[in-house]
Structure 1
Amino acid sequence: MQIAIIIPARLASTRFPAKPLAPLVGADGVARPAISYTWAAAQAAAAALPGQVECVIATDDARIADACAAMGMAVLMTPDTCLNGTERCAAALAGLAAVPDMVVNLQGDAPLTPAAMVAAGVEMLAARPDLVMTTAVVPATPAVLAHLQADAAAGRVGGTTAVCARDGRALYFSKSIIPHVGPGTTPVQPVLLHVGLYAYRPAALADYVAAGPAPLELQEGLEQLRFLDAGLSVGVAQCAAPAWEMIELNNPTDVPLIEAELARRALVESR
């Protein structure tokens, strides 16, 4: 199987401009651009996947391209008209070294993504011909749920949650906490924290671009809702939470939290 891992990256983030190049201090005490940690996650995922794997950064900004190339990453330039990372993955297909059987979108703001989660999404898509795309979730720990609730109370978007059917099909994704969790209550149905990765069949990317933006996609700011709006089946791979917290780089306030988890992950992996 030929797999492409594509990391879409752009500078124009409303909540955190230029976040792919924002410095994050690693476990070794050295500050590096955030996207370098996601690239390392892609390399680890590539080693865990079957077949041949090609990893690339897909961007529309020369500053990101130059910084990534200087760090030895493969880069593809894509149009600045791409509305989201999925469209950017579709645009990058023509520039890949080999035609892939499957495309993995590893979002640049998810540097703490474990390789096992990428593999889970790929395996689910390979096993389920009824699905056009898969993504991954982890049950939110009490600490992560408290982080989401604190962000919501402060008017910040702290992450994306998902609800799915019993057969693993996605029902909805939201930047609100779903299902509803009342203050001070323990959820009966675990809150599932969406992880920033997708696995697609290449034909699904073409269908996605052809469908055009969906109203809910635009309202929530969540690209995956276009698949659901079009009536396409999306699989949700429920993964065990790793030994570190799955925090995405959504806001500047996430920087120290992610740095702490990078140190924690290094300690866990060294044991």
Structure 2
Amino acid sequence: MVIPARYGSTRLPGKPLVLIAGRTLLSRVIVIAREGAARVGNAEVVVATDDPRILDHACELGCAAVMTDSAITSGSGRAWAVARGRTVPPPIVVNLQGDAPFAAPGMIAALIAALRDSPCGVATPVVQLDWAALDALRAHKLASPFSGTTCVRRADDRALWFSKTVLPAIRDEARLRGMGELSPVFRHIGLYAYRFAALQGFEQTAPTPYEVLEGLEQLRFLETGEDILTVAVAPPRHAMSGIDTPEDVAMAEALIAEHGEPHLSWT
């Protein structure tokens, strides 16, 4: 299990070391990874970074960490750098984005189980938003338009598309709101499980046009014909997208203030 953690975020420099309610973002994600690894069994947690400050902090937290090439720009690329360096190639590589402090550890086990039972090369979780959560996402995007990713899915749960835009557009929304509490919008959660071969193929392919436009690396898989299995999971209590901006940090701290810490060991 790899946690990519770059220092040079454009919108939030030094993001892995940013404090959220007194704990660094990286420390929060490491706790999630460790709990998820314990549920899966026989899984290693490694931080993949490009900066010695992040490497040192990971070591302080007692987590394995490796330096990766600063030229790598994607989380998938850092996951591949770690996976290919293993003596025995792992059959499945989990990429837990380093900016997802509220991902549920149970999602990791569910994702690996789903991928093992599927012919797809990649699996990732999504949450179907209720109308209140959709309203909150739309409001958040007024201040941070590139924070938060939505997913459109096929009937067989394979992804059709991911976007920083809220998809799909909803015609006759008032009528749909009266039909049930769930909207047709799925929010993507920044967690991936890859088969080793799929991750290798990703790294051997140049960035694709829509990947570059949206800033979403998973679009490279779709643009090159690799199926992504989406796994619907229950919404976490602390429901928000990843940490990309100072506004996201404030939102995360507000959620912690409202709901408490997401892990019992921190209370």
Same fold (TM over 0.5): yes
Give the 3 Å change call, closer, same or farther, for CA 191–202 of structure 1 in structure 2. same
Count of paired positions: 260
Q: Distance in 1 between matches of 2:32 and 2:214?
A: 27
Kindly state the Cα deviation for residue 218 of structure 1 after the two structures are TM-superposed: 0.4
Kindly state the Cα deviation for residue 97 of structure 1 after the two structures are TM-superposed: 6.5
Kindly state the Cα deviation for residue 254 of structure 1 after the two structures are TM-superposed: 1.6
**Following superposition of structure 1 onto structure 2, how do residues 93-242 of structure 1 map, counting pairs within 5 Å?**
93-96=83-86, 98-128=88-118, 130-154=119-143, 156-181=145-170, 185=174, 190-242=184-236
Q: What stretches of structure 2 of length at least 5 have no aligned partner?
A: none
Letter in 2 for 1:11: Y
1:86–1:205 CA contact under 8 A, matched in 2:
yes
Q: What is the TM-score with the length of structure 2 in the denominator?
A: 0.89
CA RMSD, Structure 1 to Structure 2 (Å) = 2.3
Letter in 1 for 2:112: V
Kindly state the Cα deviation for residue 267 of structure 1 after the two structures are TM-superposed: 7.5
1:20–1:34 CA contact under 8 A, matched in 2:
yes
Q: What is the TM-score with the length of structure 1 in the denominator?
A: 0.88
1:75 aligns with 2:58: no
Q: What stretches of structure 1 of length at least 5 have no aligned partner?
A: 26-30
Letter in 1 for 2:225: G
Deviates more, 1:237-246 or 1:68-77: 237-246
SS in 1 for 2:244: coil
Q: Distance in 1 between matches of 2:256 and 2:130?
A: 17
1:162–1:191 CA contact under 8 A, matched in 2:
yes
Post-superposition Cα deviations, 1:23-47, rounded to whole Å, max 9, x if no partner, equal 011xxxxx12111000000011112
Q: Distance in 1 between matches of 2:86 and 2:139?
A: 41
Give the 3 Å change call, closer, same or farther, for CA 269–33 of structure 1 in structure 2. closer
Give the 3 Å change call, closer, same or farther, for CA 268–141 of structure 1 in structure 2. farther
SS in 2 for 1:200: strand
Kindly state the Cα deviation for residue 11 of structure 1 after the two structures are TM-superposed: 1.3
Letter in 2 for 1:109: D
SS in 1 for 2:115: helix
Give the 3 Å change call, closer, same or farther, for CA 191–199 of structure 1 in structure 2. same
Deviates more, 1:183-192 or 1:132-141: 183-192
1:23 aligned to which of 10, 13, 19: 19
Name the counterpart of 2:250. 256
1:243–1:265 CA contact under 8 A, matched in 2:
no
